[in-house]
Homo-oligomer: A and B are copies of this chain.
Amino acid sequence: MLVEAPYRLASASLSRPIFSPANSQKLIPLELRLCRDLLAEQSATAIHVDMSLGGIRLTDLTLSELQQMSISSRAKENIRNVLPELRRIASEIERSFDVEVLAVGKDSMPVRIAELTAGANAVLYLARKVSSERKSYLLGLPSHCTVSRSGHGVSLRSLHVTEHDVFGYARDEESVTESVLLSEFNNPLLRGFRVVRITPK
């Protein structure tokens, strides 16, 4: 998604539902391809990828650079598996659009806003499912955020103290959220992460 100063919410985005474990790096190439597709419509100055490697340019990230980084050996192996593909897409983006692709990760505000926006889309997706199947589901939210209905959609507002005005938003075109209830509580096994239960009305 596209984020502009003062970095509070997305001003344009592409999203797609994916069902996959969240603890590997396999989704990064897919995310980077979505960025490339969005660049065809919207210009930008840099791409922040959700890899916490100190902000290095992906096209500069060689295997020997990776080897020297102080990250876990499991993380290194996960990255090694997708690195050729990532470097290929990053090179294509730099060539076609003259935009740097940076591995900023958890320190990036745009990555945080993307996480919240993706979460808002997930709430909407699940509300649609609850509404048609007439049964309840639980959804784990991203770290330190809370869900609310707002305007004609769903917002995930950040609860971090410096991010009081930062949020992700997904527009509810079909008004599915009007036919469900959202109730939120702390994940008992993972402090700082909240869970929302979506129930048919």
Question: Interface size for chain A: under 10, 10 to 19, 20 to 34, or 35 or more residues?
Answer: 20 to 34
Known A160-B161, A162-B192; judge A185-B6 contact (CB<8 A). yes
Which residues of A in the span 154-179 have a Cβ within 8 Å of any Cβ on B? 159-163, 166
A 1-28 to B, binary, CB cutoff 8 A, 1 in contact else 0: 0010111100000000000000000000
A130 to chain B, nearest CB (A): 19
Question: Which chain B residue shows the least CB distance to A5?
Answer: B185
Identical chains bound together, number: 3
Set B72, B104, B160: member contacting A189, Cβ < 8 A: B104
A110 vs B7: C-alpha distance when bound (angstroms): 32
A109 vs B188: C-alpha distance when bound (angstroms): 5
Question: Which chain B residue shows the least CB distance to A55?
Answer: B189
The reply to whether B106 and A191 form a contact with Cβ atoms under 8 Å apart is yes
The reply to whether B191 and A6 form a contact with Cβ atoms under 8 Å apart is no
Please name all residues of chain B whose beta carbon is closer than 8 Å to the beta carbon of A190 when the two chains form the complex.
Answer: 107
User: Chain A interface mostly helix, strand, loop or mixed?
Assistant: loop
Which residues of A in the span 53-102 have a Cβ within 8 Å of any Cβ on B? 55, 70, 72
A185 vs B7: C-alpha distance when bound (angstroms): 7
Interface core residue of A160, A188, A193 (most chain B CB under 10 Å): A188
Interface core residue of A104, A161, A185 (most chain B CB under 10 Å): A161
Question: Which chain B residue shows the least CB distance to A6?
Answer: B185
The reply to whether B192 and A160 form a contact with Cβ atoms under 8 Å apart is yes
A133 to chain B, nearest CB (A): 23
A189 vs B107: C-alpha distance when bound (angstroms): 6
13 pairs, A vs B, C-beta closer than 8 Å = A6-B185, A7-B185, A8-B186, A48-B188, A104-B189, A106-B191, A112-B191, A144-B161, A160-B161, A160-B192, A161-B161, A163-B191, A166-B186
List the interface of chain A (C-beta within 8 A of B). 3, 5-8, 48, 55, 70, 72, 104, 106-110, 112, 144, 146, 159-163, 166, 185-194
